[in-house]
Amino acid sequence: MSTKFGRLVPLVFSKRGFSTSTSVQKGGGGSEEGLKSLNLCSAINQALHIALDSDPRSYVFGEDVSFGGVFRCTTGLADQFGKKRVFNTPLCEQGIVGFGIGLAAMGNRAIAEIQFADYIFPAFDQIVNEAAKFRYRSGNQFNCGGLTVRAPYGAVGHGGHYHSQSPEAFFCHVPGIKVVIPRSPRQAKGLLLSCIRDPNPVVFFEPKWLYRLAVEEVPEDDYMLPLSEAEVIRQGSDVTLVGWGAQLAIMEQACLDAEKEGISCELIDLKTLIPWDKETVESSVNKTGRLLVSHEAPITGGFGAEISASIVERCFSRVCSASYCYFHHIVTPYN
């Protein structure tokens, strides 16, 4: 497995601007000096430490976060920053996000944790009808741009249908919010800090399958990675593969397998789903003439269909001349 994704166990299947002294870093993000081997969970924890330490207006809250949360991503935060800035909430997702909207609207950075992405739906109205529309409906007089909603998503091989969902497509339909999903520890830290400091509300989905499995060298300093900028992480000439989050590790293995058959794959990590980087994908497909989109969410209404439709529209003559336009998904029991 490539170091781009860290060390993974073998796969079991073949108008307010926030002040900050940190500029957005391109590429891998952060200095190559002061690297530390971290798993994705620890990288998230380190990003939250930096966010709280660098801005006294930052708050972290959600169910059980004061003692670390079920995945331990918030371990040590309450001890260091106090329970007025890192605190538990009632078991009420609508209330968690609603409180975060109010907190952000008052000029703070509200970092709300939804314990599992499967339980984000009670907060759907708050995210879609309040957070996303706050700035527009007030004519930019008010906004809740300081809101970041964190939620672990995806399958882990167990947990059933209430702890394995990938609901990103629901939120990609909504103008006014950003949707971001990292693939690795280094990406998770840099992207999360960018989300927290972005002047727009963001839903940040964390691949819980990789919390402990993905390990790589992560800069210990404060760095940010650009949003809405896809990354070509593997150059190729025969087919373009596009994905996000935990699926990238599976897709890279597919690239390696295809290489043995003489097929050259170009692999792109979208990273930000809304607004997504159409230009990078378009450029790649114009080169390869073939597109395969892979994700683990339900196929019906999935975001992969949006990518496929958009690229066919932009690259119609190029894709049709190659006679291929692929779409792939990981089968779920409820498509």
The residues carrying an active-site annotation are: 93, 163
DSSP 24: B
Q: Is the dihedral of CA 25, 31, 32, 36 positive or negative?
A: negative
Residues pairing with 126 in the sheet: none
Give CA angle at 133 (195, 15), nearest 5°.
60
Query: What are φ and ψ of residue 284, in 5° steps?
Result: -65, -45
Q: How far is 287 from 121, CA to CA, in rounded Å?
A: 40
Phi first, then psi: give them for residue 35, nearest 5 degrees. Answer: -80, 145
User: What amino acid occupies position 297?
Assistant: A
> Helix, strand, or coil here: 267?
strand
Q: Are 115 and 158 in contact (CB under 8 A)?
A: no
User: b vs e for 89-113, b when ≥16 Cβ sit within 10 Å of the residue's Cβ?
Assistant: beeebeebbbbbbebbbeebbbbbb
Sheet of 291-295: strand order equals 231-234, 265-269, 239-243, 291-295, 328-329
Report the 3 state secondary structure along 133-156: CHHHHCCCCCCCCCEEEEEEECCC
Token pair of 282 as six digits: 């378009």
